[in-house]
Amino acid sequence: MSSYLHGTDISVAEVTNVGSLGFWVLAGGSEYFVPFEDYPVFQTATVRQIFDMEQLSPTQLHWPGLDADIETDALDDPEKYSLVWKEH
């Protein structure tokens, strides 16, 4: 008896490393670098808070202790996503 369906992705997203400039996330078979400069909510976070990450969907990463979310699309192609909110 098998505990999973064949062809179902059972991998879990995880933070793999934290450095002085940012951290790395493994999700969906890809590794992403999250720079502290672009995501300042993580600059003052503890290592424990950074490692406490959930994958809410195949493209959405969430840090509950920081109330922070990142779409993997924004990490794939950051030029398409403004990181600074501007009032119109």
CATH 3.30.70 holds for 14-79? no
Residue-wise pLDDT for 71-87, tens only, equals 999 999 888 887 655 55
Between the alpha carbon of residue 25 and those of residues 1, 57, 85, the distances in Å are: 32, 15, 24
pLDDT of residue 8 exceeding 90: no
Q: Where are the domains of the chain?
A: 14-79
Mean pLDDT of 24-50: 95
User: From start to end of 1-88, where are the E strands?
Assistant: 14-18, 22-27, 30-35, 54-57, 60-63, 68-71
